[in-house]
Structure 1
Amino acid sequence: MTPPEPTGAGSQSQTLSRGIRALELLAEAENPLSIAELSEGLGVHRSIAYRILRTLESHSLVMRDDAGRVSAAPGLAALARGVSRDLQSAALPELSILANELSMTAFVAVWDRQNCVTLMTVEPTHSRTALIQRPGTRHSFTAGAPGIAIQSAMTEDQWDRLAPGQKYRSESRTARERGYAVSHNEVIEGVSAVAAPVTASGQLPAAVSVVYFGSGKDEDAMGLRLAETARRIEAALR
C-alpha cells in the first residue's frame, strides 16, 4: 500500500492534540505520572490537565491508582487491535515461529511518516536473555534495520515525496538488492537488528525484524529467514 500523502499542520483541535499528547506521554513513561508531571509535560495548567484526564478516563484510555497517579488503561489495547488488523493476524503465527527458532524477539514495524513504529512483538518462549521490544516503540528512519527495510520497498522518488526532509539511506539500496537489511549500534548501543520488508495491498509499508545483543551472528542466514517470513505474511494477506 502506498502511504497517504503527508499533510501540513493546518487547522487542528488544540484540545484533541493535547489529549493525544497526554496518551503519548503516558506511553513513554516507565512509571505512572502524577497530575503535576502530566501538566508539566503538556505545558498547561493543572486544571486543564485534569479536564483532559477526566475525558480520557471516561473512555477507559487512562486510569488512576490509589495515589492518584495516572497510567494507560486497557481501552488503549482495544484501539491498538484495530491498527493494521489483518497484518497483525497474518504476522502473529509467523513471528511466534521465528522468535522461538532464533531465540530472539521478533516484531513487525510499520511506516508512520517520520518514524518507524513497532506494531506487535513476540518474545521467544524459552529464552530469558532475549531483548525486549515493546509495541509502540518508535524511532526515526535515520536509524535501524526495520526503517532501512521499509525504505527499500519504496523508490527514492516515492520516499522523497512521502517523507520530505528524510534522507533515503544508501543501505536501503543494498537491502533492496539482497531482500533484507542489517544494522548495528544504531538505535541502541550494543544492539543489532535484521529486517525484511513486508508489502501487501491495503497495508501500511512494514518490516519483520529481530533484535539481539552484540554482533557476530550469521546475518545472511538470518536475513534470508526473515525474507521467507515476510513472504509468508504477504501470502496470508492475499
Structure 2
Amino acid sequence: MSDSPTERALQLLALLARAAEPMSARAMAEALELPLSTAYRHLQVLKKWDWVQEHARTGLYEPGPMSVQLAHGFDQHSWLMQAARPELEALSARTGESAGLLCYLHGHIVCLDLVESQHALRCSFVKGVARSTVRGASAKALLAHLPEALVQPLLAEALAESGSLAADDSVASFMNGLQQIRERGYAVSEHEVDQGVWGVSAPVLLPRAQLIATVSLMAPSQRAGKHITEWIQQTCLAADRIRQRLLHR
C-alpha cells in the first residue's frame, strides 16, 4: 500500500467505481487494508469535491456528481472519436500530413486524437495533452465559437502571463479576427505555435451552432505552400463529414 495520500484517495475512488453497489466506509477500508479513520478522512475530501456522495439514510458511499460528469464526458468523447477517427485517417492519407481532433475543456485546448504524418513534423500537439492557449488555428477555430464571456478571460490571461502577443494584437482586434473565422468557417495560422508549421482548423458544429470539436491539419510551411487552398477545402469537408456522422449516429 502506497503511503501517498493522493494514491489512497484514488484507490478509494477506483474501488467505489468498480463496485456493483454502494459501499460502507468500513468495507472500503477493509478491502484496501486501511485504518478506518484514514478511509473516513479521504472520503470526506472526495465528498467535499463531489467525487463521492454519502446516502443520507444508509450512510453508504456511491459515485458523486463529479464522477457522473466525468463518465458523461468520456461517453461523449468516445462517440465523437468513433465518428472522427476514419475521417482523420482519410484526411491524413489524402494530404500526407498530420490530422488532429481537438476540443475546448475548462480553459484548455485538448488534443483528443491525432493521426501523425510519416513525415517529420515538430508540433506541440500530442494526443491527450491539454494546452492553455489562444494561439494557432486550432485554438482560434474553437474560441471563435465559444461565448465571448469565456474567450475574454483566456485572452487576458495569455496577455498577462506571456506578454507574447504583439502590441497590435489587442483584445478588440483578436475578437474581430474570431468573427472573421466564424464567417469563413475555418482558421489558418503559420509559425504561431510552432516555428515553421502551417495549420488549418475547421470546427465541427451541430445544430444551433453547438461546438463539439475542431479538425486540424498541420504541416511544415515549406510543404504547405502550393497545397493551401486544397488542404483548407479537405479539412472543412472532413469536419462536415464528422458532423454528418454525429447527426446520424
Q: Identify whether the pair has TM-score above 0.5, normalized to the shorter chain.
A: yes
- After TM superposition, the structure 1 = structure 2 runs for residues 1-238 of structure 1, keeping only pairs within 5 Å, are 50-56=4-10, 59=14, 82-124=75-117, 127-131=118-122, 133-154=125-146, 158-159=147-148, 161-167=149-155, 168-200=174-206, 205-215=212-222, 216-217=224-225, 218-238=227-247
Measured in 1, the distance between the counterparts of 2:143 and 2:6 equals 37
Flag structure 2 segments of 5+ consecutive residues without an equivalent: 16-70, 156-173
Deviation at 1:81, TM superposition (A): 5.4
CA contact under 8 A between 1:113 and 1:163: conserved in structure 2?
A: no
CA deviation profile, 1:140-173 (whole Å, cap 9, x unmatched): 342010111112334xxx22x2344234543322
CA contact under 8 A between 1:139 and 1:187: conserved in structure 2?
A: no
| Aligned equivalent of 1:31 | none
Measured in 1, the distance between the counterparts of 2:75 and 2:133 equals 24
CA contact under 8 A between 2:204 and 2:240: conserved in structure 1?
A: yes
**Percent identical:** 27
The verdict on how the C-alpha distance between 1:57 and 1:190 changes in structure 2, with shifts beyond 3 A counting, is: farther
| Aligned equivalent of 1:40 | none
The verdict on how the C-alpha distance between 1:53 and 1:94 changes in structure 2, with shifts beyond 3 A counting, is: same
Amino acid at match of 1:172: L
CA contact under 8 A between 1:105 and 1:131: conserved in structure 2?
A: no
The verdict on how the C-alpha distance between 1:81 and 1:128 changes in structure 2, with shifts beyond 3 A counting, is: farther
CA contact under 8 A between 1:131 and 1:211: conserved in structure 2?
A: no
Deviation at 1:181, TM superposition (A): 0.8
Amino acid at match of 2:97: M
The verdict on how the C-alpha distance between 1:201 and 1:53 changes in structure 2, with shifts beyond 3 A counting, is: farther
Measured in 1, the distance between the counterparts of 2:205 and 2:193 equals 23
1:197 alignment partner, SS class: strand
Flag structure 1 segments of 5+ consecutive residues without an equivalent: 1-45, 61-78
1:166 alignment partner, SS class: helix
